[in-house]
Chains A and B, each alone.
Chain A
Amino acid sequence: METLLIALVFSPLLPGIIARTKAVFAGRRGAPLLQFYYDIHKSLRKGRVTSDTVTWIFSAAPSVLMLAAVFSSFLAPFGRLKAPVQFTGDMIFLVYLYGLARFFMLLAAWDTGSSFEGMGAGREAFFSCLAEITLFADFLILAKLSKSLSLSEMIQQSSALSWRQAGPALMMVVVSYFAVLLAENSRIPVDDPATHLELTMIHEVMALDHSGPDLGWIVYAGAMKLFVLGALLVSILIPFGTGSLFFDRALFLAGMAALGVAIGVVESVMARFRLDRVPSFLVGSFVFAVFGLIITFARGV
């Protein structure tokens, strides 16, 4: 339960940190760190406007998204904090939990019949296919290193034991996973969460017709997804516990904040890719993961 609470409470802070980092780079003061809490709160209080032509799928998608986000927070370790739900192969469940949410979001986008949303959904489907193989390659490395098929074990054991023994492989995991993290959460250089240009959007465009609470849940679920997937990366990168429950959690949250800053820096120092270059970026991340696999299996650690 604690992981769920942490994710629910802290996830909207992460995009706030990213936005603030970008503002600093642009020489602006930027929105308050808590802006996303205000935005979600505002959306949840509003009424909704729904097109006459959509079916139940359109209204169901935000709930599915939010439920997937809630369930996923049970499966992921947050630093030294183990996931409350663990079983063999839970990482596959995690990936396809998000897959299910995406499936509903794609259907909801196509349901509107809007050409913008159709294009966005097509892009999302294509790019997530490419991101998925990298994700599984990374999980394979971690599974081999930790000799376990459960997410908490995989991540905590491999990072605790192996940074010294299998540093290069873990480094490959971190690099490729970071690329996937950016792609999965529609950040620059893959997508631009700040743009208003529908023709260039990937993720945002699918939510164009959702309003009020529907939009609020989609934004909230997006923040939670970033938080949970980010938590996996931070857990890999923090290879030790402090021995104190309180400091472990504080260290984890500091790590998450640092991740927010890192994403903000990436978004500030580079332009977005041209859309037809995104597959190369994702395949590039897969190549990193494959190198990691080769190192892991060749050395037999």
Chain B
Amino acid sequence: MPHRKLHAKNNQGLDLDRVPLLERDVFRKTVLESCSANARVVNLFAGLRDDGDALVFCVLGDDEQSRLHIFSTRVLKDDPSFPSLTPELPQCHLFEREMAEQFAIRPEGHPWLKPVRVISGGRPFFEIRGGEAHEVAVGPVHAGVIEPGHFRFQCAGEEILNLEIQLGYQHRGVEPLMEEAPAPRAAWVAESIAGDTVIGHATAYCGVIESLSGCPISPRANCLRAVALELERVANHTGDLGALSGDIGFLPAAAYFGRLRGEFLNLLMELCGNRYGRSFCRPGGVLFDIDARMAGDFTRRLLKAGKEIDEVADLFFTRSSVLSRLEGVGVVSHQTAKDLGLVGPAARASGCGRDVRTDYAYGMYRFCHIPISLAGTGDVHARAVVRWLESQRSIDYLIELLNKIPKGALLAPPGPLRPNQIAFSMVEGWRGEITHSAITGPGSRIVRYKVKDPSFNNWAALEQAVRGAQISDFPLCNKSFNLSYAGHDL
């Protein structure tokens, strides 16, 4: 049914008129049919039209075919309801809750339609009754230096029967800010969406702006962006392995992984003057260059750090007391991962080979390929192993890139945005698939900016992973996902 769906590419600007506008029933049928085949919901979001009606856009991704499809439907102002997809397609549940919160659209038949981010008054929570059952409420203020979020456990003794996560405490209104902010400031806002995914979100933002203005990026800038993105990935993955070691009380690995994370952050620091990579990516290219001497120095230090990671990982992954803590804990089955539409290392740990760098290759990843790292068991151990594999492969990839940085200008400032366009940018951040979408109005202004952090897909997996687990293992499961609160709350 080609007329029903528009084929789109990653980092491509499209005329808004070309996006098919389907009847509500056809829209629903198209989503369900495609998803019962091989597709998954990459993004589902609404935007307001001038006449007050809402447009719901759906972006489906067929990972095997590397195809993106986009189509939309209209929800009338006077009758703001549409049949919910969630009962048939659980991966839509948070998208629909988000739309209901943002635009007063009512997904009829949604099983648990409560607000996502706006905290006011009481919230309904799942309840459990019985003499042996008890509830544990954790947060939103936590003991460690982490972000706020509320976790409500229903337990029987030490066993978790259900966990419900209520977030939204970090809601800053990122999307309206991105629409209103002048271009230089919008880049700063994008870098602040999730403090540990600066490069990821900045690259996605740049992708959107460049697609909307039709601005070509030099190969050199693309390569440098990939270098920064992979550095961010290795830094966070090694940091996560260290945090996992810390949680199970395995001190030496915690200390060494923690130090190695610093090595990678230091490389980012030398690249752009900020340990988290702020002010590196800007629409049109990058602001900092790597010369030959620096590339040689980076290569040498990456080789050394890579060797050290292998040594520590060898210590970590062979110790039986460590394995007994990681194996079989917090299992997300392959089917659950597919049903919930997981992305990133969490999906790859459950055997879903999804990786934007391969499936929807963009920039440098079209020329230099990176293998997908997979594990099958879906437990904490699998998520740790995927992180280790990806760190190794990222380091190899970095060394490959650093040795052949192409020539070209660093920055070519983009022109004005084209009117009435929709653009999409997907980036494989270290946590998974980051999606930024933007729609321009007739006056070339951005009228709708949509951000989707991978945490938005993956928080639900944590709720599933801890069912039936020991409550004392929850921090470990949580760390194995290491999701962003700010990225979810926007």
Question: Using Cβ atoms and an 8 Å threshold, which residues of chain B touch A54?
Answer: none
Across the interface, do A275 and B470 meet the contact criterion of CB distance under 8 Å? yes
Closest 7 CB pairs of A and B: A26-B255, A272-B249, A271-B250, A275-B472, A271-B248, A270-B321, A197-B475
For window 113-135 of chain A, which residues contact chain B by CB distance below 8 Å?
Answer: 115-116, 118-119
**B39 in the interface, Cβ–Cβ < 8 Å?**
no
Closest A residue to B250 by CB, please name it.
A271
A192 to B137: give the CA distance in the assembly, Å: 22
Residues of B with Cβ closer than 8 Å to A? 134-138, 143-144, 158, 245, 247-252, 254-256, 259, 319, 321-322, 324-325, 329, 470-476
**A22 in the interface, Cβ–Cβ < 8 Å?**
yes
When A196-B143, A199-B474, A272-B325 are in contact, do A267 and B251 touch as well, CB less than 8 Å? Answer: yes
Across the interface, do A276 and B137 meet the contact criterion of CB distance under 8 Å? no
**A181 in the interface, Cβ–Cβ < 8 Å?**
no
A7 to B47: give the CA distance in the assembly, Å: 71
Known: A116-B136, A198-B138, A272-B325. 20 other contacts (CB 8 A): A25-B251, A26-B254, A28-B255, A189-B249, A197-B475, A199-B136, A199-B138, A199-B471, A199-B472, A200-B475, A268-B251, A271-B321, A271-B324, A271-B325, A272-B250, A274-B329, A274-B473, A275-B158, A275-B470, A276-B158
A26 to B321: give the CA distance in the assembly, Å: 17
A76 to B358: give the CA distance in the assembly, Å: 67
A52 to B252: give the CA distance in the assembly, Å: 42
Closest A residue to B473 by CB, please name it.
A274
Closest A residue to B324 by CB, please name it.
A274
Question: Using Cβ atoms and an 8 Å threshold, which residues of chain B touch A198?
Answer: 138, 143
- Provide a sorted-by-A list of 25 A–B residue pairs whose CB atoms are within 8 angstroms: A26-B251, A26-B252, A26-B254, A27-B255, A27-B256, A28-B255, A116-B136, A119-B471, A188-B249, A189-B321, A195-B247, A197-B143, A197-B475, A198-B143, A199-B475, A200-B472, A200-B475, A268-B251, A268-B252, A270-B319, A271-B322, A271-B325, A274-B325, A274-B470, A274-B473
Question: Using Cβ atoms and an 8 Å threshold, which residues of chain A touch B143?
Answer: 196-198
Across the interface, do A115 and B137 meet the contact criterion of CB distance under 8 Å? yes
**A273 in the interface, Cβ–Cβ < 8 Å?**
yes
Closest B residue to A188 by CB, please name it.
B249
Closest B residue to A278 by CB, please name it.
B472
Across the interface, do B252 and A115 meet the contact criterion of CB distance under 8 Å? no
Closest B residue to A197 by CB, please name it.
B475
A118 to B473: give the CA distance in the assembly, Å: 17
Closest B residue to A27 by CB, please name it.
B255
Residues of A in contact (CB 8 Å), total 30
CB distance from B472 to the nearest CB of A (A): 4
A75 to B109: give the CA distance in the assembly, Å: 70
Contact with B along A194-230 (1 / 0, CB 8 A): 1111111000000000000000000000000000000
Question: Using Cβ atoms and an 8 Å threshold, which residues of chain A touch B144?
Answer: 196-197
**A277 in the interface, Cβ–Cβ < 8 Å?**
yes
For window 1-41 of chain A, which residues contact chain B by CB distance below 8 Å?
Answer: 22, 25-28
A272 to B137: give the CA distance in the assembly, Å: 25
CB distance from B274 to the nearest CB of A (A): 26
Question: Using Cβ atoms and an 8 Å threshold, which residues of chain A touch B256?
Answer: 26-27
A267 to B248: give the CA distance in the assembly, Å: 11
Across the interface, do B135 and A115 meet the contact criterion of CB distance under 8 Å? yes
A196 to B256: give the CA distance in the assembly, Å: 20
Closest B residue to A270 by CB, please name it.
B321
CB distance from B331 to the nearest CB of A (A): 14
Closest B residue to A198 by CB, please name it.
B143
CB distance from B158 to the nearest CB of A (A): 7
Closest B residue to A28 by CB, please name it.
B255
CB distance from A54 to the nearest CB of B (A): 19
Question: Using Cβ atoms and an 8 Å threshold, which residues of chain A touch B252?
Answer: 25-27, 268-269
Across the interface, do A27 and B259 meet the contact criterion of CB distance under 8 Å? yes
For window 130-189 of chain A, which residues contact chain B by CB distance below 8 Å?
Answer: 188-189
Across the interface, do B254 and A272 meet the contact criterion of CB distance under 8 Å? no
